[in-house]
């Protein structure tokens, strides 16, 4: 396993990852690593494979080729005797416990109150005691500024509030990897800042490894240490946000940025 730039085991490593939907190959032998605690933003035109990458790490999509390792351990497939072998479902589920994802459309449980949304997985997946999970949930709701909403159902909240609940729900599992998929794209413009501020705070206060798909370029610039520009399922270029945003090497990146900035 190649060490990260800073040495040590990567938090995430893609090795020759291929993803096909039918005869449409979306990712073609993709290789990259993310260091523990690193925050990386994925940019690129619609359809370039960014969401698919996050969904593969969350195991919401299955790999059709290659390997993803998380903290040096195989996530869904391993190599044994020169063959690619799928891991048992139980092991895959155990491997994803510390991976959190926040989606564009919140995906809260609509039939549960806010606090029930936060308590569900810690109790049922981690086996946490209910009282402990509730206490932790209250702390997280305070953090995202929604202490007064714990007994509301999601449908009674604004999109921005729902998204902050979704972020708190992901944090309730103590993730060491957090995947953010266009988390502000479905929000009215006036609700975006509160959500981004919560994420900025998390970035500042924790060492959670973050993979971020966003069109909020200022946010990407503020929180990420690296930007990867995708086109057609491959990394066209990558680098420090300052370099990519102000002085991209590739004409394709330049065109993409002038369309979104």
Q: Using CB under 6 A as the criterion, which residues of the chain lie in contact with ligand ADP when the complex forms?
A: 21, 24, 26, 44, 46-52
Name which of 140 and 187 has its Cβ closer to ligand ADP: 187
For the bound state, the minimum distance from the C-beta of residue 198 to ligand ADP, rounded and expressed in Å, comes to 22
For the bound state, the minimum distance from the C-beta of residue 213 to ligand ADP, rounded and expressed in Å, comes to 6
Find out whether 173 and 121 touch, Cβ atoms under 8 Å.
yes
**Separation between Cα atoms, residue 190 and residue 242, nearest integer Å:** 26
For the bound state, the minimum distance from the C-beta of residue 259 to ligand ADP, rounded and expressed in Å, comes to 14
Name which of 50 and 169 has its Cβ closer to ligand ADP: 50
DSSP E strands, the chain: 12-21, 24-34, 39-43, 65-70, 73-74, 77-80, 83-86, 99-102, 177-181, 209-213, 226-231, 234-239
For the bound state, the minimum distance from the C-beta of residue 47 to ligand ADP, rounded and expressed in Å, comes to 4
Which of 56, 54, 166 lies closest to 102, judged by CA? 166
Name which of 28 and 143 has its Cβ closer to ligand ADP: 28
| Token code pair at residue 79 | 């190599």
Name which of 48 and 76 has its Cβ closer to ligand ADP: 48
C-alpha Rg value of the chain to the nearest Å: 19
**Separation between Cα atoms, residue 169 and residue 119, nearest integer Å:** 8
**Separation between Cα atoms, residue 129 and residue 220, nearest integer Å:** 37
For the bound state, the minimum distance from the C-beta of residue 230 to ligand ADP, rounded and expressed in Å, comes to 6
């Amino acid at each position: 396993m190649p060490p990260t730039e800073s040495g040590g085991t990567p938090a995430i490593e893609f090795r020759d990852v291929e993803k096909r939907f039918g005869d449409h190959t979306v990712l073609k032998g993709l290789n990259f690593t993310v260091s523990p605690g690193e925050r990386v933003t994925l940019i690129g035109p619609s359809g370039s494979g960014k969401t698919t990458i996050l969904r593969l790490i969350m195991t919401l999509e299955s790999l059709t080729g290659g390997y993803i390792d998380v903290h040096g351990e195989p996530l869904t497939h391993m190599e044994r005797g020169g063959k690619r072998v799928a891991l048992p479902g139980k092991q895959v589920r155990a491997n994803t416990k510390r991976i959190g994802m926040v989606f564009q459309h919140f995906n809260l449980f609509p039939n549960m109150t806010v606090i029930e949304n936060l308590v569900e997985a810690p109790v049922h997946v981690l086996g946490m005691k209910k009282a402990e999970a509730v206490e932790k949930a209250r702390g997280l709701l305070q953090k995202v500024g929604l202490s007064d909403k714990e007994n509301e159902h999601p449908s009674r909240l604004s999109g921005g509030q729902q998204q902050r609940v979704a972020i708190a729900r992901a944090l309730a599992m103590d993730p060491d990897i957090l995947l953010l998929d266009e988390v502000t794209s479905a929000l009215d413009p006036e609700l975006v800042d509160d959500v981004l501020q919560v994420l900025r705070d998390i970035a500042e206060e924790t060492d959670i490894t973050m993979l971020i798909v966003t069109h909020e370029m200022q946010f990407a610039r503020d929180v990420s240490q690296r930007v990867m520009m995708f086109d057609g399922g491959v990394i066209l270029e990558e680098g420090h946000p300052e370099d990519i945003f102000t002085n991209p090497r590739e004409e394709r990146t330049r065109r993409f940025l002038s369309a979104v900035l």
